[in-house]
Amino acid sequence: MTSRRGWTAADIPDQSGRTAVVTGASAGLGLETARVLAGCGAAVVLACRDMRTAALAAGRIRADAAARAGPGAAGVRVVHLDLASLASVRAAASEIRASCPRLDLLINNAGVMTPPYQRTEDGFELTFAANHLGHFALTGLVLETLLATPGSRIVTVSSRGHTGGVMNFDDLQSERGYHPTHAYWQSKLANLLFTYELQARLESAAAAASALAAHPGVVSTGLWQTSSRLERALISPRLRLLNFWIAQSAQLGALPTLRAAADPSARGGEYYGPRGRFDTGCPALAESSARSHDAAARRRLWEVSEQLSGVTYRIPASSGTSETSNRP
């Protein structure tokens, strides 16, 4: 139950016996999300691109969990995952399915923010591929395990930036012009369209899983490394006395994701974000843009994502299992 002070990590119930996969968990919001879940007793899989930093993060999480609950309090493992590579996504999903007999939480957290124009090995624009398409494929490829775990949740991290996003279905790969910020906004809108369409399909099948979304507000993390010098200066910890109202810590920024993942009262299709002014503070239900609820856009993005990723979701009604096609 949330107190007057607002929902915090102290409100998370015991997570013992539960398994969580957190993408991009080697730093920033993902690391904090994984750290808190492990500290509450969950077995956590860090799905990360850089295995060296992921191993260091795993060590920090183990030490923190041991300090809270004693040695061996929770298992922490690392899986290699490069969301910009569909081959890597398939390999990571295979490893997760083989090593996790149950999967209670899939936290789609990783992403890139306003990088220079790049193409992935699969030929996709990097921001769209890493922020949306890779998570779409990963979720579909581990969905069978999620559906076999009663009460499982898929939480996808979006952004307030989604409000400026427009799905350019005629040029999803930005071949006719690339603007880093617009590409980022589009990918964050895609995160919400995906979440709402997935939840609708899960509900229609009376499935034992739910899809939720969250946004962290403005947080000072490594994502800003590709932003302009002025933007990086504005959220710098050195200016904390001046920028406290526009940027918050990773500890606070992770709370909306943690609430969507672990609050017993949270429901599928909900979207959480900071409740305070300037998108800071403790998490609460948030409103997303009208575009994010466009049913036609939801379905179109889903169909395009299946075509591009080669991963087709099949959610049998009330069966508790799923079928996912992994086309070459």
31-41: b (≥16 Cβ within 10 Å) or e: bbbbbbbbbbb
Q: Are 28 and 247 in contact (CB under 8 A)?
A: no
Alpha carbons 107 and 21: distance in angstroms, whole number: 6
Alpha carbons 162 and 156: distance in angstroms, whole number: 13
Alpha carbons 106 and 44: distance in angstroms, whole number: 10
Q: Which residues contact 142 (CB under 8 A, 6 or more apart)?
A: 21, 93, 96, 97, 103, 106
Of the candidates 117, 178, 184, 272, the residue annotated as catalytic is 184
Q: Which residues contact 74 (CB under 8 A, 6 or more apart)?
A: 16, 38, 39, 41, 42, 43, 44, 65
DSSP-derived secondary structure letter, 14: P
**196 in catalytic set:** no
206-226: b (≥16 Cβ within 10 Å) or e: ebbbbbbbbbbbbbbbebbee
State the DSSP H helix or E strand holding residue 31, giving kind and residue range, or none if neither.
helix 28-39
State the DSSP H helix or E strand holding residue 272, giving kind and residue range, or none if neither.
strand 271-274
Distance, CA of 70 to chain centre: 29
Mind telling me the catalytic residues?
184
